[in-house]
Amino acid sequence: MELKSQSARTVPTASTRASLRLSLLALGSAALLAGCAGNPPSEQMAVTESAVNAAVSSGGPEYAPVETKNAQDKLAQARIALNDKEYDQAKRLAQQAEWDARVAERKSQAVKAQNNVKDAQQGVMELRQEGLQQAQ
């Protein structure tokens, strides 16, 4: 009778499998996040530049100078961060600049509308005075 030696195989336990899965999940997530962090926010930068240009062309420097300046400054900082490959910071600054620009544009539109209302009211008053003078 011959004795065979059996090699001892260990069967992974449930906790070992769960630990392995968790490790793989963490590694995959880290790789995914690293991949995302490495992409320049080109689309956000384009949207922001468009918003800043719209704010300027709508009269932002005249009617909303603080908001327009904030948007322009943050856009400049975002460009620097983008150049330094600090993509997360560039995206965050670009988003802030976009919202500052949108506020500047809306504020400019509101001030212009208020001025138009004042002009219209003044025109109505002048017409009334002319009408009263002609009636007398």
- Please check the confidence at residue 32 and state whether its pLDDT lies above 50: no
- 36-79 pLDDT tens trace: 458 999 999 999 999 999 999 999 999 999 999 999 999 999 99
pLDDT band at residue 35 under the 50/70/90 scheme: very low
**Reported pTM:** 0.65
Handedness of CA 66, 109, 59, 120 (dihedral sign): negative
User: How far apart are the C-alpha atoms of 98 and 105, rounded to whole Å?
Assistant: 11
pLDDT band at residue 17 under the 50/70/90 scheme: low
* Domain segments of the chain as ranges: 42-131
* Level-2 CATH architecture, domain 42-131: Up-down Bundle (1.20)
User: How far apart are the C-alpha atoms of 23 and 30, rounded to whole Å?
Assistant: 11
